[in-house]
Structure 1
């Protein structure tokens, strides 16, 4: 597990309409530990819309407003990442992509070339969707599909999604008290993909189904995906840093 893509969504990075700085800082702490092990880490981060909302509280129901908020918030989000990573002597780089970029071999090759140079020089790539133009991500994806494509096309060994649940359950744990966490899943069925998206914050647009779609895409490419909590990173750290699968769900064929 040399090259890791970490994806963190808006549900983790926002709280009460603002950026959740404690969670952002904990995320950076985890990445620093991975880099100390000489791991290559690519971060796919949401949160631009929420960051923009702190400066201009527009109605988020409008896609055009959300695009404007993303344009305001992206540099603010990067500012916070740069400040925290600087504590570890880590330099950040920003890349804005959309899923369509991976439909072009030429654009994919250019983006991969840039990533390889950044990683070779110990620079921390932070990727976000280009929300100003990528309305599909704003409406449905919340970066899950983008992260899966980044993992595959940039030759990563695993995708780790940190979200507002601590893994995949056999049924909705917020509704059913007897829901059971499944630690290992070898395939994603059509029935699993028929569930509701159920995003859980005003800024989130994804949900468990978009994560299952990402897992299905990667399983077909023989690449594992790990799903765990972004609120409490103890299980993610155990899995990614110490290689102990104590919690969370591993999707692996």
Structure 2
């Protein structure tokens, strides 16, 4: 009886969603095709329309942030990355207020802060106090569910340890987190890509080559847009590794 009451209390604590299951399924299907310009445009238009009608709908908010983080992650222009990252961060701050116990907006808020920090420069981000805000959201996501989106919170924390300047940088901890994700999700190409970069930076070029080959030869079926993006990025890292091994 106590377990039943606990389950009921958790359900009652979830924010009500005006979005229908069919709408959410449609948005998720569009997200699975996010490498297509038409799918991105339709997702943007649908989210804009639905959020105008229901601006505090958690299910819509985190899906909007998911799209913004994807776009920021792939942006080559620093100004665009900064704008998209800030938008994702702002959207998910609203979501965290609605449902702090849910992993999605904790994680995508951290993703927005992370891409914003990359755009403005890590040293400026540290000076502006963004490290604490990033870790607050990311650590909450890890506590709630580190396996979300194939271990994405672990990967973000590993990348944090990789991107920090000396003496804060911790390549050993970075690699441990990627390996933790890979132990549960061995097909995660981004985990191997990040691991390869970390190993290369840690003077482990031979091990880095093993990791990048897993990206190059990996199956993208688990998430084709993500897999293809990472495989494209991996080409430069592979070249850097081969140069180091000469």
TM (norm. structure 2) is 0.29
Where relative contact order (Cα < 8 A, 6+ residues apart) is larger, the structure is: 1
Higher strand share: 1
Q: TM-score, normalised by structure 1?
A: 0.29
